[in-house]
């Protein structure tokens, strides 16, 4: 079923999941698409269309069963599987991400980090040890991680990407401005903070 | 003309701009949609469609004139106007953003920062001074900034957003997980790193 879900819908899935988890924890058992629309600032027609892709129609005058929805999302997002992520590049941004509070409900955590700087190698940030790049392949196997966050200087990004692919990584969250060349079976999620900021400035200018 | 540009196209605009600037600086005067497609990992039909919205058709066997395209993008992105951004919340992430190398070509810079922590107030990160929240309104007026980056604890996000709106801010780049309530004339760009990571993990699971 999930193969037919539109990309735009899948992108909202983690958001739905997180909010419904919060509501459920607060004791909310049912919610209407219009209440959810107010909370999420997404229009209710979009929410109803999204949920229909999960086979959830909502009952008129009752709304959606929060627990039932959560069960669906949980299955889809594989939230009950703990995912350990590797971080490559412990500069300012890498350091911030090591201390970043990924939503508690998300079951995502950084489990291992790498850097080239001798003064950082061997140190620990919380529970996470920083290894030399020479240990990349071995540590990635050891931690059974298939996702890496890339926060290295742009110059080094492609070379390290090649090493990550070689080490068996399936997905890279790329904070550098380099457009990474990867084999077709590898997913890359670019997080381009300058472009995000430019888009915002552009949006303001066009309001 | 820009009013008719689809949202998906406008989102690629900063990317086009950045790459064409690099190409131009390296002496590239013309480029075909397929060459650009290889560079950007966007398919060439999409690029041709995007560029047609800017009145750029490209000539068969010649491609696009890089300088001409840059002129269009520059106008659209207002890149020649220096935009000063305020940062609210100098924790780990705020600190990283103060040291973040926003693309040199982008003309975006953080010009002023705010925090509640007495040990941070009055310090400087590079050229940027950290002020107490009491000085928000006055400093935002002084720096003529209408965009703020929000990197505060989630609990404080809405209250500080209200203060930012009151201080005359038009756009907020929101790194918190709070879905901010703002008046209609204020733009919010949410940067949800957990969701980005979950989407990537989800994408890997569905390849």
Q: Determine the Cα–Cα distance for residues A11 and A13; give it in Å rounded to an integer.
A: 5
| Strand, coil or helix: A170 | coil
Residues forming CATH 3.40.50.720 domain(s) in chain A: 83-195
Over residues A105-132, the pLDDT tens digits come to: 567 889 999 999 999 999 998 889 999 9
Q: B171 to each of A156, A197, B99, B183, how far by Cα in Å?
A: 33, 10, 21, 11
pLDDT level of residue B71 (50, 70, 90 thresholds): confident
Asked if the Cβ–Cβ distance from B108 to A201 is below 8 Å, we say: yes
**Chain A nearest-CA residue for B75:** A202
Does residue B163 surpass a pLDDT of 90?
yes
Joined tokens for residue A37: 């629309």
Nearest CA in chain A to B4: A206
Q: Which residues contact B34 (CB under 8 A, 6 or more apart)?
A: B44
Alpha-carbon distance values, A82 to A79, B5, B20 (Å): 7, 41, 41
Residues of B in Cβ contact (< 8 Å) with A206: 2-3
Using CB atoms, which residue from A147, A177, A196 is nearest to B201?
A147
Q: What is the pLDDT of residues B8-22, one digit of tens each?
A: 787 788 778 877 877
pTM of the entire predicted model: 0.72
CATH number of B83-195: 3.40.50.720
A192: chain B residues, CB-CB within 8 Å: 14-15
Chain A positions in Cβ-Cβ contact with residue B191 (cut-off 8 Å): 191, 193, 196
Kindly report, as residue ranges, where domains of CATH 1.10.10.10 are found in chain B: 7-76
pLDDT of residue A7: 74
pLDDT at res. A150: 98
| Spatial contact of A151 and A89, defined as CB atoms under 8 Å apart | yes
Cβ contact (<8 Å) for B100 and A92?
yes
Tell whether residue B90 is among the known ligand binding residues: yes
Whether B4 has a pLDDT exceeding 90, the answer reads: no
Which tens digit of pLDDT belongs to each residue from B121-148? 999 988 899 999 999 999 999 999 999 9
> Does domain B7-76 fall into CATH 2.60.120.10?
no
């Amino acid at each position: 079923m999930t193969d037919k879900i539109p990309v735009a819908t899948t992108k909202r899935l983690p958001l739905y999941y997180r909010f419904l988890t919060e509501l459920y924890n607060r004791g909310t058992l049912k919610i209407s698409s219009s209440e959810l629309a107010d909370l999420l600032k997404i229009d209710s027609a979009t929410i109803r269309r999204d949920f229909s892709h999960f086979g959830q129609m909502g009952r008129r005058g009752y709304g959606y069963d929060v627990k039932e929805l959560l069960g669906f999302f949980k299955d889809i997002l594989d939230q009950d599987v703990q995912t350990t992520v590797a971080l490559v590049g412990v500069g300012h941004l890498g350091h911030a991400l090591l201390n970043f509070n990924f939503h508690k409900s998300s079951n995502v955590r950084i489990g291992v980090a790498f850097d080239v700087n001798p003064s950082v190698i061997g140190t620990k940030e919380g529970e996470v040890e920083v290894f030399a790049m020479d240990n990349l392949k071995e540590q990635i196997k050891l931690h059974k991680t298939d996702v890496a966050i890339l926060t290295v200087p742009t110059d080094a990004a492609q070379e390290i990407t090649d090493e990550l692919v070689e080490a068996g990584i399936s997905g890279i969250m790329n904070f550098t401005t380099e457009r990474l060349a990867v084999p077709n079976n590898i997913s890359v999620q670019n997080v381009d903070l300058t472009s995000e900021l430019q888009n915002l400035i552009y949006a303001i200018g066009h309001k």
